[in-house]
Every structure is written in structure tokens, then in C-alpha cells.
Structure 1
Amino acid sequence: MRAVEFQEYGGPDVLKAVETGTPEPGPGQVSIEVAYAGVNFADLKARAEGYRVPSLPYVPGLEVSGRVRAVGTGVDGLSAGQEVTALTRGGGYAEVAVAEAAAVFPLPDGIGLRTAATLPTVLPTAYALVHTVGRLQPGETLLVQGAAGGIGTAVGQFARAAGAGAVHGVVSSAEKAAYARRHGYDEVFVGDFAAAVRAATGGRGVDLALDPVGGETLNASLASLAPFGRLVSFGNASGAAPWAVGQADLAGTGLTVSGFSVLSLAATAPAALRALAGKAFAAVADRTVSLPVTAEFPLERAAEAHRLMGSRSSTGKLLLRVSAG
């Protein structure tokens, strides 16, 4: 089968199209004939620095859509030919991928395979950040780093549907700011944001801040919280040392800091992931939330998709087209 893999860590050029063996599902697993694969920042971190890579060579790709090819022993409710979307543990940049059955989801009515490839990581993450972990209440204010990315795009819409009082975003360019304003954001700040957030909230700060960056950005997000505010860390794109927050940082105004990773949730609490995904996917099916595909590449051009995402100029969702027939 065709796949894209890397045999060493480095820039996008280490991604190579290869012919390799077709994987078979083990007990509790499902193999999927891939139509589309989503491109995520975690794929770039895997390629560049070995993030969640067990060994080399490695086929990246955490989310796919397609049709069930085969099911392993102990799998119920899924059958060959069924259209599904899935969260994998790697291997998505290929004609056939294997996923744990608990992370394979039949497509909701009205959702095609192309849209389905945008769902497995981004939508459950965005839903959890707003509702399950962030616990946003009507009238509260929100600050989102990376507001024009896939997760940021969905978060803005989820927050607006939840009755947020104001949704503020942070991006890296004026073009991204314009995009974010079209997807649920009231005000969008380019670059430094701490002073602008205080000004926009009359000095109060925001009730909820969502941070995938870490490092100094996380510290500035924490400093942007209103009394009793919450911060959710869901990534470390900066590569900074893991954050550490103590009682002295939080007690003065009753702040809360928490973390979230959809990949960790899939590994440790798959039933919770299924419940979360069901709620998130329903919001797409009823058109509460949409996630635009802003660029699509053939599988063999995965390196171009990585270059685009790595340039920090992309918005929305990037896909690889594997076999859409």
C-alpha cells in the first residue's frame, strides 16, 4: 500500500512516499481504507522531534475518514464497508490505517468523508475546552490562543453557541485576525495581547483562557484572568519547559489551571472520549459548528501540507486526500 513515512527527524523533506505492507487489525482494533487524513500540529512535532513516536520508521497521522476494511476479534457494532471517522495512534498518512475500535465512529447523518476527516481530534478537543473542562457559562468572557487554527475556529463557534459574553482571540497576523472574526470572535489581537485584553474587558480580565502554546504565552494568559478565572492548557507548541503553577500563583484571586489532551483521553478513558465525540459531532451535524477545509493535498504531497502549517500562515483545517472514491 502507499504511505508517507519518515525514517529520521527533521524538516518536511524527511517525509517520503513509500510502498509498504498493509496493516491488519488486532484484537479490539479496526482497519480502515483511508479516504482523507487530517493534518495536525502534533504530526509536525512527531516529524521534527519525535512527539509520541514509538520507533522509526514512522507513518504520522492521527485522524482519518474512510471505510472499514476489517475488524479484529472482540469488535462489535462495526462492519466492513461502513463509513467511519477515527482517531488513530499514528499511521493515518496511508491507504490503510488501524485504530482502536473505541476510537472509531460511524459517520453522523449528513456528514461526508471529507468533512469527517476534520472531526476526530479538533471537534472533541474544542467541545471539551469550552464545555467539559472549561465549563463556560452564559455571559462569560473567553480568550483563545491560535484563534484561526482548526481548534480555534471550532472553539469560537462553540463559545458563541454557549452564550459567551465576549470571545477574544490571539493570532499571528492581520489576515488570521480577519478569518477569526468571521468565525465567532468579537476582538482578535495580533501578537502581544495582555494589555489589550485588560483594556477590552475594562481591566477585569477574562473568565476562561485556552492555551496551546505554553511558556511565556501561558503565563500571559494566566495574568489575563479575571478573579475566579480558569485557564486550560491543551498543548505546548512553544516547546518550553512544562508549566508549573503553585498555590501562590492562584490563591490571590481564586484561579484554576487544568489540562487537556484528546490523545491522552483516548488512551486512558475511551468511554469518556466516545461521549465527548458524540456531543461534538452532533454540533456539526446540526450545523452549530463548521470547520472549513482551507487546503487539501494529495497524500504524496504531505511535505507541502507540513510546510504550510509550519509557516503559521494557515487557517482552518488542512487535509490529505488519500483515496476519496
Structure 2
Amino acid sequence: MRAVEFQEYGAPDVLKVVQADAPDPGPGQVTIDTVYIGVNFADLKARAEGYRVQSLPFRPGLEVSGRIRAVGEGVEGLVPGEEVAALVDGGAYAEVVVAGAATVFPLADGLDLRTAAALPTVVPTAHALLHEVGRLRAGETVLVQGAAGGIGTAAGQLARAAGAGAVYGVVSSAAKAEYALTHGYDEVFTADTFTDVRRTTGGRGVDLVLDPVGGDTLYRGLDALAVFGRLVSFGNAGGAEPWQVGQPELYAHGRTVGGFSILALAQAAPEALRALTERAFAKVADGTVSLPVTAEFPLAEAAEAHRLMGGRTSTGKLLLRVAD
């Protein structure tokens, strides 16, 4: 089978197509004949910085859609030939992928394989940020960093559907702002106008901030919170030192900070992840959330997908296509 790996860290050119033996499933696992692969920022961080890489060579990729090829010992409720989406902890850039059965999800009626590949990390994460961790209530205001990305696109729509009083976004360019305004956002700021949040809210601030950036951006998000506001951190895209928040930032206004990682949840509480994913996928199946695939590349052109995402000009979701 074909797969895409890197043997050293660096620019997108380190991604190479290799030939490998197709894997067999172990106990509690399935193998999937891949049709589409979702591209995520975590894939770029793995390639460039070694994020979550235990050894080289390394095959990136966290989410796939396709058809079950074989099931391992002890797997129930999944059968060969069934169309599924799956979350994997690396290794998705391949024609055949191994996945733990607990993170393999049969597709609901009306959900096609192309759409499904965009969902396993994005929509459950957006749902958890707003509801399970962020505890959004109807009428509250939300601010989302990275509003034009995959998670931001889903979060804007989910917040609007949940009855948010106002949904604000932050993006890196005017073009991205135009895109985000079509996906649930009332107003979108560019990074250099982020401080306008308080002016826009009449000095009150927002009830919930979702932050994938970390560093100074996270602290500015804290400053944008209203009394009793919540911030949920779900990444460190800015590459800053791990943030620390304590009594001075939280006590005076009763603010709270939470965190979320879908990969960490998959390892620590797979049944909770399954329940979360089922809730989130239902929002796609019923039309509440539409997640646009804005670019698609053949598997052999994975480097081009990384260049596009790394250039910070992409919106929505990027996919790799493995088979028709």
C-alpha cells in the first residue's frame, strides 16, 4: 500500500510517499480501506516540530473515512465493508489504516464519506468546547479564536444553534473574516483589532472564549471575559511556553479556565468520547452544522495541503483523497 511519512522534521517537502505492507488488525482494532483523510494543524506541528511524535519515521494523520477492511478479535458491532469515520492517534496518511474500535463510528444515513472525513476531530471538539466544557447557556456571548478554521466554522454554527446572544470571531485576515461571517458569526475581528471586543460589548466582555493559540492571545482572551466568564484552551498553535493562570487572573471576577484535547479524551475516557461524537455527528446529520471542504488533494500531494494550511490562508477543512 501507499503511505506518506517523514524521516526528518522540516518543511512540507520532508513528506514522502512510501510503499508499506498493509497492516492487520489486532485485538480490539479494525483496519479501514481509506477513502479520505482529514488534514489538521496537529499534522503540521508533528512534521515541523515533532509534536506527539515518538520516533522516526512517522506517518501523520488523525482522521479518516472509508470502509472497514477487517475486524480484530473481540470487536463487536462493526463489519467488513461498512462505511465509517475514525479518529486515530497518528498514521492516517495511508491507504489502509488501523484504528481502535472504540473510535470508529459508522456513518449515519445521509452522511457521505467525503463529509465524514472532516468530522472526527473537528465537530466533537467544537461541541465539547461550547457545551461539555464551556457550559454555554442561551443568551450568552461567545468569542472564538481561529473562527475561519475547521473548528471555528463548526463552533460558530453550534453556538448560534444553541441560542447564543452574540457570536464573535477572531481571524488573521479580512478575507477570512468574510468567510466566518457566513458561518454563524455576528462580528469578526482581525488579530490587530482584538481589543475591540470590550468596546463592541459595551465594556462588559464576553461569557465564553475558545482559544487554540495560547501565549499572549490566551491572556488577552482572559481580559475579554465578563464577570463569571469562562475560557476554554484547546491548543497552543502560537508555540509559546505553556500558559499558567492563577488567583490574580481568576479570583477578582470569578473567571474560570478549562481545557480540552480530543486525543487525550480518546485515551483516558473512550466511552465519553463515543457519546460526545455521537451527539456532535447528529448535529451534522440534522443540518445544524455544515462543514465546508474548501480544498482537496491526492494523497501523493500531502505536502501541498500542508503548504496551504501552513500559509494561514485556508478556511474550512482540507482533505486528502485516497480513492474514489
- The answer to whether the 8 A contact 1:194-1:224 is kept is no
2:111: which partner in 1?
111
Aligned length: 324
- The answer to whether the 8 A contact 1:194-1:223 is kept is no
Structure 1 residue ranges without an equivalent (≥5): none
For 1:79 and 1:50, the matched residues in 2 are separated by 35
Encode CA deviations 1:203-232: one digit per residue, 9 max, x unaligned.
000000000000000000011000000000
Is structure 2 residue 309 aligned with structure 1 residue 320?
A: no
For 2:20 and 2:256, the matched residues in 1 are separated by 47
Shift of 1:194: 4.0
- The answer to whether the 8 A contact 1:146-1:169 is kept is yes
Of 178-187 and 242-251, more deviation after overlay is shown by: 242-251
2:294: which partner in 1?
294
- Report the CA distance shift for 1:219/1:262 in structure 2 as closer, same or farther (over 3 A): same
For 1:310 and 1:37, the matched residues in 2 are separated by 17
2:15: which partner in 1?
15
- The answer to whether the 8 A contact 1:177-1:190 is kept is yes
**1:269-280 pair list within 5 angstroms:** 269-280=269-280
2:135: which partner in 1?
135
1:303: which partner in 2?
303
Shift of 1:23: 1.3
- The answer to whether the 8 A contact 2:302-2:320 is kept is yes
Give the letter aligned to residue 293 of structure 1: V
For 2:106 and 2:323, the matched residues in 1 are separated by 18
Runs of 4+ in 1 over 4 A off after TM superposition: none
1:206: which partner in 2?
206
For 2:39 and 2:295, the matched residues in 1 are separated by 10
1:102: which partner in 2?
102
**1:16-165 pair list within 5 angstroms:** 16-165=16-165
Q: Does the residue aligned with 1:30 lie in a helix, a strand or coil? A: strand
TM-score (norm 1): 0.99
- The answer to whether the 8 A contact 1:147-1:156 is kept is yes
Shift of 1:195: 2.4
Identity of matched residues, %: 73
Shift of 1:240: 0.6
Give the letter aligned to residue 51 of structure 2: Y
Shift of 1:32: 0.3
Encode CA deviations 1:168-200: one digit per residue, 9 max, x unaligned.
000000000000000000000011244200011
TM-score (norm 2): 0.99
Q: Does the residue aligned with 1:312 lie in a helix, a strand or coil? A: coil
Shift of 1:311: 0.3
